[in-house]
Amino acid sequence: MNPTLTLALFLFSPIVAGAALRRLGVLRQIFDFLRIFTTLIILPLIAFVYVSALVPAQVIALWGAVIAAVMGVAACFFASCFLASRLPKEEGVALVLNSSFMNVAHLGLPVIYAKLGSAFMPPAVLYAVTVAVLNLFLGTLLMHFLITKSPSLRQIFTQTFTFPAVALLLLALLLVYLRAPLPQDLYNFFTQRIFPTFFLLLLLQVGYHLRIETSRKYARHLPVVGLLRLLLCPLVTLATCHLLGVGKSIVRPALYLSLMPPSFFNLILAQSLELDSRPYSLTIFVLTLLSFLLFLL
């Protein structure tokens, strides 16, 4: 079968299936369980296995992925903060979060696995977890400012670094430091037999959460978010990689992850805090559709 067709089927079939299931209004409890299973099992295991199999020299060589992630997020964050300064508070927070943080977990990691292969997953995991930490901390902080004048920084900080994927990544790095890598047989078992199914489940959830909630007020911000997400972030990522002098093993996954549409976490957090979810669902829907063609390049 044609490689491009195989890639398209792997990526789009579960997304279309998830969207169809939501449209039919079935299996809601199953997807609620999948969301919890993803947070507690899927993402932590992916982070742990791919990083714990490395040796210290490899981890040091891959820190360029972390720096590229920080620089890409920072560029979009400060640019969007400037643009949002004259907007109403809730509207401005939505613009900043949609522009700054991308869907590196549910969509980004499956794309890297399908397009580049397992060899590129360790830098992709480091990039993705870095973005997730920043998203978890700043997203929670900014949204809590909308509902209270004094959010608990200590509580948010604790919540961020006890997040299962972050905690298991830190454990994996500790094992690398202690020179106790994951046995190769166990690594092969997870990466070859378990993770392909995990990635399909992540993509299924992407499709399930894709929905459009129309709003002219928020639709006017789509061009700005699109430019920051699909132009500024990739350019800053490439420039950072060039300045660091890193190789293609970091540049390629970092570039693809920098092109991801806005993060689902912002939508989930807005819903949990009973904030308006329309600016998040609308932007995720439109930019995810626009991103589909980029995945096949």
Rounded CA-CA distance 61/191 in Å is: 22
What CATH code is carried by the domain that includes residue 52? 1.20.1530.20
Tell me the per-residue pLDDT of 175-206, one tens digit each, with 9 for 90 and over.
Answer: 888 888 888 999 999 999 999 999 999 999 99
Domain that holds residue 30: 3-295
Among residues 84, 74, 76, 77, the alpha carbon closest in space to that of 220 is found at 84
Average pLDDT over residues 132-144: 89
User: Is the CB of residue 253 less than 8 Å from the CB of residue 65?
Assistant: yes
Task: Give the chain's domain count.
Answer: 1
Instruction: Judge whether residue 297 has pLDDT over 70.
Output: no
Instruction: Judge whether residue 123 has pLDDT over 80.
Output: yes
Q: Average per-residue pLDDT in the chain?
A: 88
Tell me the per-residue pLDDT of 198-228, one tens digit each, with 9 for 90 and over.
Answer: 999 999 999 988 877 666 777 788 899 999 9
Q: Output the pLDDT for position 290.
A: 84
Q: Output the pLDDT for position 215.
A: 66
Instruction: Judge whether residue 231 has pLDDT over 90.
Output: yes
Among residues 261, 255, 268, 258, the alpha carbon closest in space to that of 288 is found at 261
Instruction: Judge whether residue 293 has pLDDT over 80.
Output: no
Query: What global pTM score does this model have?
Result: 0.93
Average pLDDT over residues 115-131: 94
Average pLDDT over residues 125-140: 92
Tell me the per-residue pLDDT of 245-284, one tens digit each, with 9 for 90 and over.
Answer: 999 999 999 999 999 999 988 888 888 778 888 888 888 8
User: Is the CB of residue 261 less than 8 Å from the CB of residue 288?
Assistant: yes
Among residues 85, 109, 92, 87, the alpha carbon closest in space to that of 205 is found at 109
Q: Output the pLDDT for position 8.
A: 81
* pLDDT confidence bin for 151, thresholds 50/70/90: low
What's the angle, vertex CA 34, arms to CA 31 and CA 35, rounded to 5?
90
What single-letter amino acid sits at 4? Answer: T
Average pLDDT over residues 81-106: 92
Rounded CA-CA distance 168/177 in Å is: 14
